[in-house]
Structure 1
């Protein structure tokens, strides 16, 4: 453990050094001013790396020094991200309680008064160093956790499909997680040249728990979209698997909202199921008012037996479909229908302007709440579906 003594009085420095050496502290550094202290600290740590830990473990800081006193030096230490976690014990000959309170408010964790009592000084140093060890342990653990979350996010993003731009159809997602990990999920699967399945899922909650549920759903979707395909069968399988999850705490219950769409371009037919999710919006070519893919089933994972209702809509060339999660609505004023009306108007205005949709994803929610944002746009290209007679 490295202790840094900061005092403009050489005699005081010598006395404290001797006390520390006799107590077994052999790594002792000295600065005779606050300015010199900062120069030493900067030489020990890499300021370009926010996770870098300065070698100094404790500072014994004299309160009364010329140019910059100990209180101001302590404030500057606290304002610097590289030094703010170094514990500071203020050394003072002043018995003024207001000054001592000011020093503690500036960031000092403790103080000793002159003339220094060796037993008291060593006890306070032991306490401060114990706190520093615990803090370093937590910082190291947090650093590992950040690295693990980064890896988990990369894994999570790896299961999301790439955009599609084929002769008949174009599919693209706009997505942003509110935290390191997301509870929103989108997926699509090409069954054949003329048949597609698209899903948007929102696992309730935030952070690690919702992201794990999201990944669990993603693994089921990948297989069930391929083998089951139809909205009813896929949602029934998702519900079965979600309700089969067992939790030690019975009060904790995870569920998902979702919308699942199949498009048969050869027949010009869209079939969907909506499990407690915001309505999808289908803009028919040349029309200003979209057809809504409204809720027709409860959320997935809430009930063992779930009645899933599917509905069909006619689709033709140049139709455009939007599927999204409720985080998208947070950018608009009001609630529910008012937000949906504004979103509809916005989507009509932006048309093919990619930048506008990117801005929507990046915009802050008006209510200040943080939420994942996901929007999937599906374009049926000219000639991509049978036109109505």
Structure 2
């Protein structure tokens, strides 16, 4: 192939009578991202999309045999990487040394909408040409009609799918707002300050928290993380929410609250073990008059208690996750304080329990920082940590200051 044709601003192909690629110019190789040895000798179908293969079989090849040339045919090529390239094809059949070959010029047409409109026009023109030739190829016409019906069917299915996606998106957005609206507001008084942060990794989250004032001196704080992410986990958290809200505001002990949540999860999946989900959770009841914290940690990452003197005590697991084992006993543990202190509760999207406790160090380095400023410091550290480790998970944490 001479240099002028090899580097022409369009693709060039020479095909055998059977459709095998005999020669290809550098321009087309660059468009398709192939080396010459990878496609020379292979059938033309290798560089065509599936619809284009069918189109060539039913229209391109029969018409070329009838007319010996074709002008302005639009088909789609497929690159090595699977990208679809619409092209305009002109082709001519000729004899070369006693063999019949087809030479094709392929001009890329990258505007898809124009390509689709031109493809419809080309198909209509082809149909008119076939009718003018007194329906010389009845089988081809029937195949094109069948293809048209399939295209219309696919268009209708695509339309239905698009509507379904819009409806689903609206429903997910409503569910997300419902989930966020269920979260409790910060509590601030002369005994305690409670604030929280929550961010779902997708539309819905498997993390949830709540904190409530039980009476004049008692406060209940809970944080949960349902196994997995997305809709199924979010549905489970939302089913748990009214239950733990009612149990906590009624003043049930941490052990009883966890037992009721555990019983609820077992009842949800009693007839379907494959769908079973478990949930890690930690619930604390803080009594500011007695200066005492009672808690149950059901398989959750350890909460951190930091005393007024800077001493840190992790609140480790006291029981397995809820929903995991039947007849689990949830025994509570206690922690007393005298001069106030600070609590940090979190889910594993904030800090992997197997990783270094970088937030524990942050709390130790800023013992007197107001809770609002500490929250911003944590968010900054969380952002830097995610940038370094490329994590994607639901994020949730609670900060509590006791005076």
**Which bin holds the TM-score, normalised by the shorter protein?**
0.5 to 0.7
Equivalent in the alignment of 1:178: 201
Equivalent in the alignment of 1:359: 380
Q: Distance in 1 between matches of 2:337 and 2:103?
A: 78
Q: Distance in 1 between matches of 2:107 and 2:178?
A: 49
8 Å Cα contact 1:176-1:361 kept in structure 2: no
Q: Distance in 1 between matches of 2:338 and 2:74?
A: 75
Equivalent residue in structure 1 for 2:177, among 134, 150, 154: 154
Equivalent in the alignment of 1:33: none
Equivalent residue in structure 2 for 1:326, among 348, 364, 387: 348
Equivalent in the alignment of 1:133: 156
Q: Which has the higher contact order (CA 8 A, sep 6+)?
A: 1
Give the 3 Å change call, closer, same or farther, for CA 265–102 of structure 1 in structure 2.
same
Post-superposition Cα deviations, 1:219-251, rounded to whole Å, max 9, x if no partner, equal: 110111022431111111111111111366432
User: Structure 2 matches for 1:90-105, cutoff 5 A?
Assistant: 92-94=89-91
Q: Does 1:348 align with 2:389?
A: no
Q: Distance in 2 between matches of 1:302 and 1:169?
A: 34
Equivalent residue in structure 1 for 2:326, among 293, 304, 312: 304
Give the 3 Å change call, closer, same or farther, for CA 236–91 of structure 1 in structure 2.
same
User: Structure 2 matches for 1:41-190, cutoff 5 A?
Assistant: 92-94=89-91, 116-117=126-127, 119=141, 121-190=144-213
8 Å Cα contact 1:149-1:181 kept in structure 2: yes
Give the 3 Å change call, closer, same or farther, for CA 115–197 of structure 1 in structure 2.
closer
Post-superposition Cα deviations, 1:168-197, rounded to whole Å, max 9, x if no partner, equal: 110000110111011101111111121111
Following superposition, the deviation at residue 131 of structure 1 comes to 1.9
Q: Distance in 1 between matches of 2:202 and 2:107?
A: 38
8 Å Cα contact 1:232-1:310 kept in structure 2: yes
8 Å Cα contact 2:265-2:323 kept in structure 1: yes
Q: Which runs of 5+ in 2 are unaligned?
A: 1-69, 93-101, 129-140
Q: Distance in 1 between matches of 2:177 and 2:125?
A: 58
Post-superposition Cα deviations, 1:194-221, rounded to whole Å, max 9, x if no partner, equal: 1111000111111000001100111110
Give the 3 Å change call, closer, same or farther, for CA 369–131 of structure 1 in structure 2.
farther
Equivalent in the alignment of 1:374: 396
Q: Distance in 1 between matches of 2:152 and 2:91?
A: 24
Give the 3 Å change call, closer, same or farther, for CA 347–115 of structure 1 in structure 2.
same
Post-superposition Cα deviations, 1:303-354, rounded to whole Å, max 9, x if no partner, equal: 1210212111112344000000010115xxxx61x422x2211233454324
Q: Secondary structure at the match of 2:256?
A: helix
Give the 3 Å change call, closer, same or farther, for CA 64–174 of structure 1 in structure 2.
farther
Give the 3 Å change call, closer, same or farther, for CA 139–349 of structure 1 in structure 2.
farther
Q: Distance in 1 between matches of 2:247 and 2:124?
A: 75
Q: Distance in 2 between matches of 1:365 and 1:249?
A: 39
Post-superposition Cα deviations, 1:83-133, rounded to whole Å, max 9, x if no partner, equal: x9xxx9876444779877977998978897897245255444333332222
Q: Distance in 2 between matches of 1:313 and 1:283?
A: 11
8 Å Cα contact 2:214-2:251 kept in structure 1: no
Which protein is bigger by CA-based radius of gyration?
2
Q: Distance in 1 between matches of 2:230 and 2:251?
A: 30
Q: Which runs of 5+ in 1 are unaligned?
A: 1-62, 382-389
Structure (1 or 2) with the greater strand fraction: 2
Q: Distance in 2 between matches of 1:98 and 1:324?
A: 65
8 Å Cα contact 2:196-2:399 kept in structure 1: yes
Provide the aligned length of Structure 1 versus Structure 2.
298
Equivalent in the alignment of 2:356: 339
Q: Distance in 1 between matches of 2:257 and 2:175?
A: 26
